[in-house]
Amino acid sequence: MTLTPPPLRNDCFALPTGVDWTPVDEALALLKTRMHPVTGEETVPLDQALGRVLSRDVLALRSNPPLPNTAVDGYGFAGAVVEGSHVLPLITGRAAAGLAFEGVVPRGHAIRILTGASLPKGVDTVILQEDVTVDETHVAFRGPLKQGANTRKAGEDVQEGGCILPEGRRVTPADLALASATGHAHLWVRRKLRVGVLSTGDELVEPGQAARPGQIYDANRPMLLALLQHMGFESRDLGAVADDREMLRARLTEGAAHTDVILTSGGASAGDEDHVSALLRDTGALQEWRIALKPGRPLALAMWEGTPVFGLPGNPVAALVCTLIFARPAMAVLSGAAWQVPQGMDLPAAFSKSKKPGRREYLRARVRDGQVEVFRSEGSGRISGLSWAEGLVELPDGAVQISPGDLVRYIPYDSFYS
């Protein structure tokens, strides 16, 4: 384990003065400049590296393929073959993957060779076994065949010393193939980012408990904890607290001691019961980012005893959208990963909508038969729509008038997890 980088500064969320509603792209650009990695690094064996963030560039310790070899089963010999029929004497022995043929194949002779075998000395070209007739002593086939046909050059895929994976990348199953093939048994990765999740509100009850009239079950916490796991972070359940400033203070302090980031939901507006923003304003260097976004409220960003706090709206729909659009790329950078832009695609709409200018808007959506459908209601409390959806439609900041068949930008939920 090496040194852990310093935490974020207390003024890291400060906004330029005089800014009113900040467009989404500007808010993201600002967030990008303010975040930096806060986790230390360690080495892990390949079988524990999946989903982890690389803390260093990975260089190939070995070329792939390490030696020239054959891409097919067949017969190897030297040089190009001209048009017409050819008969070559076969030498005894064969070359197979992992079992190199140690001798030399004399000019004008051929050798049996199997896929993956290193090319023996005297062989640079291979003819496919389907294209020959063969007996005990000779192989016959028709040209032409180019020199080097059906072979792979040493290092044609990866050269020894070349960068195979960049720092900040989240390791995929295919990356493990590449790392292993080029000689790695371990990788340098960041320690996992620990993210605490805290729900707030007098109305919340725990799943399994009896709910009085007026009380509701906590929907945000199970969703956010699961999302964080999907994103490769280590989630910490900080529970739910009532709208009570002292309890909230104690819970934040307790949480901050064991986490790198805290996500709270609820109580983040400017209302009487919005204790999260009130407390953070007094003690946590609160910055209210009024972002031109729907659904969403001002995003409360603060530092609590060295730990950044994202104060998310209480509405589950707004909480999810704010997490995906803002908290996720910020947390990615804190975790040592590169800044991430979710990849969307332009697909024909299966709906109509007219949108006023001013705010970027995200709708719950899914794709069926190549067309984007949106949930029937845009109500921010409609949890069933979150579950119905498989992604979001992103509508631009300006006014738009969408008719069926018009292209709209669809971002699958999966784009936010990788």
Complex with Mg ion: residue 242 or 407, whichever CB lies closer: 242
Stretch that binds ligand AMP, among 63-71, 81-89, 211-219, 389-397 (CB under 6 A): 211-219
Q: Is 267 in the site for Mg ion (CB under 5 A)?
A: yes
Complex with Mg ion: residue 267 or 342, whichever CB lies closer: 267
State the nearest-atom distance from the C-beta of 297 to Mg ion, in Å: 11
Distance of CA 360 to the CA centre of its chain: 24
Q: Is 323 in the site for ligand AMP (CB under 6 A)?
A: no
Distance CA 183, CA 403 (A): 54
Q: Is 219 in the site for ligand AMP (CB under 6 A)?
A: yes
Distance CA 396, CA 76 (A): 60
- Structure tokens given for 284: 């946590």
Which of 266, 298, 313, 336 touches Mg ion by CB under 5 A?
A: 266
Which residue minimizes CB distance to ligand AMP? 314
Complex with Mg ion: residue 268 or 332, whichever CB lies closer: 268
How far apart, in Å, are the Cα atoms of 329 and each of 4, 27, 31, 208? Answer: 20, 12, 9, 34
What mask of x and - would describe binding to Mg ion in positions 181 to 220, judged by CB under 5 A? --------------------x-------------------
Stretch that binds ligand AMP, among 47-55, 176-184, 266-274, 389-397 (CB under 6 A): 266-274
Q: Is 203 in the site for ligand AMP (CB under 6 A)?
A: yes
Q: Residue 160: name its binding partner from Mg ion, ligand AMP, none (Cβ under 5 to 8 Å by kind).
A: none
Residues in contact with ligand AMP, total (CB under 6 A)?
A: 18
Residue at token pair 């079992």: 99
Q: Residue 218: name its binding partner from Mg ion, ligand AMP, none (Cβ under 5 to 8 Å by kind).
A: ligand AMP
Which of 266, 295, 308, 391 touches ligand AMP by CB under 6 A?
A: 266
Q: Is 242 in the site for ligand AMP (CB under 6 A)?
A: no
Q: Which residues bind ligand AMP (CB under 6 A)?
A: 199, 201, 203-204, 216, 218-221, 265-269, 313-316
